[in-house]
Amino acid sequence: MSDKVVPIIKLYDYLIVPIQIELDDITVEKLQMQLLNEISAKEARGIILDVSMVDVIDSYISYVLSETAAMAKAMGCHTVICKIQPNVALTLAQMGIKLENVYTANSLESALEILNQLD
Amino acid sequence: MLFLSNEIEQFPVIEIYRVIVELLEEKRMEAENKIAELREVLSELSTPVIHLWKDVLLAPIIGTLDSQRAQSMSEKVLNAVSETGAKLVIVDVTGVPLIDTIVGEFLIEMFSAVKLLGADVILTGIKPEIAHTLVKLGIDFDMVNIKRDLESALKYAMEGSAAGKSLG
Amino acid sequence: MIKVKNINDFSVDTEDYDLVLKIRQEADIAVARQMVKDFAKKNGFSLADVTKIATVVSELSRNIQRYAKKGYICARKKHGKDGNVLLEVLAYDNGPGIKDVELAVTGGYTTSQRSLGLGLSGVRRLMDTFKIISEEGKGTIVITEIRRRTF
């Protein structure tokens, strides 16, 4: 049985995860489990969440992203959130929402640079 | 005071008055349109975002900011970071005499947003009044690098680029 | 015409609104967001403000779906006192209501595990005006506006 909700691409010791689905309690649960299983199976040291297609990040989505990063951390894996849209970034800052447990980057290259310099 | 209506018979006071009011109204509308135009030009001039070199943007702020201009500027800077993939934004406030708490908050929010795009912020040219406002607003110095003046900021940026190390 | 029961003598007439969306299941959140987004775009709001508005609708409709199970998101274009254009978003439900509104709005409220509270403090910071009326056992109404910028 495959509960794959997102495509996950392996690059070196890292996993790239484009977020293109609507996140709700059920899909989030599946996403997190799929991710953790993949981290374990591929022995990944870092994950890159690509949010370039996410045009709204509210308090729930921010919480979910931080929570996912915490779970990855528990498995010894760093998380980089990549390509937040500029208007979304401004909205998050103006709402006073902080993303916890994550690094942020504007491109895949920078995300990889960040991960390479860790650990 | 000389009243023309007293001196000249059948002096058309009302007609002339009407014409004067119309003329003044036209002038006023012209002036208002001019003001709106100038406002737009001012907006472009006063918060330019300059692409200095590969990873570095410079955003000098000139004159006092109100919340509308601060919002416009934040959007401009963020779009520029997103489009150029810049790793560093130098915000120079030498030209700003003072800011109120609303604008100060806007700036702090802009810095947080720039960090979310994976770029660092250097703030330069801070005057005593602005230092006072920013600290009172609880600016987080872990989030912003402060340099005394534009020269030190540019030197810092160049050293970072030259060494090829990540400015993150 | 749907007239809602009064909450503390405040009634909502959905006829006054350009957009009325029913929120009942999670899928409705995305729909509400998209429809209000399109409405804002059509009325000339900047992309940055459209994102703010969509985020606000997301927060408010999520609260309705999660806590009240059923409610409405309404939107309309208005004209302010000095002639500027405003977009008003109204969220209402006949759900459990909020016990301590002050606490909820200042961001101190966490009612369930998977949330950062009600997100209302964020909504208030984004918008130009923010009003909330809530009564335990009766329901909640949130009315919030944003001004369309001139340049």
Q: Is A87 an interface residue toward B (CB < 8 Å)? A: yes
Q: Is B68 an interface residue toward C (CB < 8 Å)? A: yes
Q: Is C83 an interface residue toward B (CB < 8 Å)? A: no
A19-29 pLDDT, tens digit per residue, is: 999 998 889 99
Choose the mutation target among B42, B43, B75, B102 for the interface with C, i.e. most C CBs under 10 Å.
Answer: B75
**CATH fourth-level superfamily of B47-163:** STAS domain (3.30.750.24)
pLDDT of residue B168: 38
C118-142 pLDDT, tens digit per residue, is: 689 999 999 999 999 998 898 999 9
pLDDT of residue C3: 45
Backbone φ/ψ region at A96: left (φ over 0), alpha (ψ -120 to 50), beta: left
pLDDT of residue B9: 78
Whether A95 and C54 lie within 8 Å, measured CB to CB: no
> For chain B, what are the domain ranges?
11-45, 47-163
Q: At what angle do helices C47-63 and C26-42 cross, to 10 degrees?
A: 150
> For chain A, what are the domain ranges?
11-117
pLDDT of residue C111: 46
> For chain C, what are the domain ranges?
16-147
Asked if B94 and B62 count as a contact pair (C-beta separation under 8 A), the reply is no
Asked if C139 and C95 count as a contact pair (C-beta separation under 8 A), the reply is yes
Q: At what angle do helices B101-116 and B128-136 cross, to 10 degrees?
A: 70
Between C115 and A92, name the one with better pLDDT.
A92
Q: What is the CATH number of domain C16-147?
A: 3.30.565.10
Asked if B101 and B108 count as a contact pair (C-beta separation under 8 A), the reply is no
**Chains meeting C at 3+ CB pairs closer than 8 A?**
A, B
Q: Is the pLDDT reported for residue C116 higher than 90?
A: no
pLDDT of residue A104: 97
Whether C51 and A63 lie within 8 Å, measured CB to CB: no
pLDDT of residue C107: 67
Chain A residues with CB within 8 Å of chain C CB? 22, 24-25, 55-60, 62-64, 67, 85, 87-88, 90-91, 94-97
Confidence of residue C12 (pLDDT cuts 50, 70, 90): confident
pLDDT of residue B2: 75
pLDDT of residue C118: 67
Q: Is B71 an interface residue toward C (CB < 8 Å)? A: yes
Q: Is the pLDDT reported for residue A66 higher than 90?
A: yes
Choose the mutation target among C49, C149, C151 for the interface with B, i.e. most B CBs under 10 Å.
Answer: C151
Nearest to A101 by CA among A74, A76, A70: A70
Match 């007239």 to its residue by tokens.
C3
DSSP E strands, chain A:
9-11, 14-18, 46-50, 78-82, 103-105
pLDDT of residue B66: 82
Whether A105 and B87 lie within 8 Å, measured CB to CB: no
SS3 A44: coil
Region C57-79: mean pLDDT is 95
- Which residues in A lie closer than 8 A to residue B55 (C-beta atoms)? none
- Which residues in C lie closer than 8 A to residue B71 (C-beta atoms)? 48, 149
Region A74-88: mean pLDDT is 97
Q: Which residues pair with B43 in a beta bridge?
A: none
CA–CA distance, C132 with B4 (Å, rounded to integer): 63
Range of weakest confidence among B144-153, C26-35, C58-67, C123-132: B144-153
Q: Is B39 an interface residue toward C (CB < 8 Å)? A: yes
Q: Is the pLDDT reported for residue A40 higher than 70?
A: yes
Q: Is the pLDDT reported for residue C109 higher than 70?
A: no
CA–CA distance, B118 with B110 (Å, rounded to integer): 13
C78-103 pLDDT, tens digit per residue, is: 998 888 899 999 999 999 998 888 87
pLDDT in tens, chain B (168 residues): 777 777 777 888 888 899 999 999 999 888 888 887 887 677 666 678 999 988 999 999 887 788 888 898 999 999 999 999 999 999 998 888 878 888 888 889 999 999 999 999 999 988 888 888 888 888 877 788 899 888 899 898 888 765 544 433
Confidence of residue C114 (pLDDT cuts 50, 70, 90): very low
CA distances from C112 to A67, B162, B163, C15, C63 (A): 14, 50, 49, 34, 11
Whether B43 and C151 lie within 8 Å, measured CB to CB: yes
Fold of the A11-117 domain = Transcription Regulator spoIIAA (3.30.750)
pLDDT of residue C46: 92
DSSP E strands, chain B:
50-53, 56-62, 88-95, 120-124, 144-147
For C8, counting Cβ atoms within 10 Å of its Cβ (0-12 exposed, 13-18 middle, 19+ buried), the class is exposed
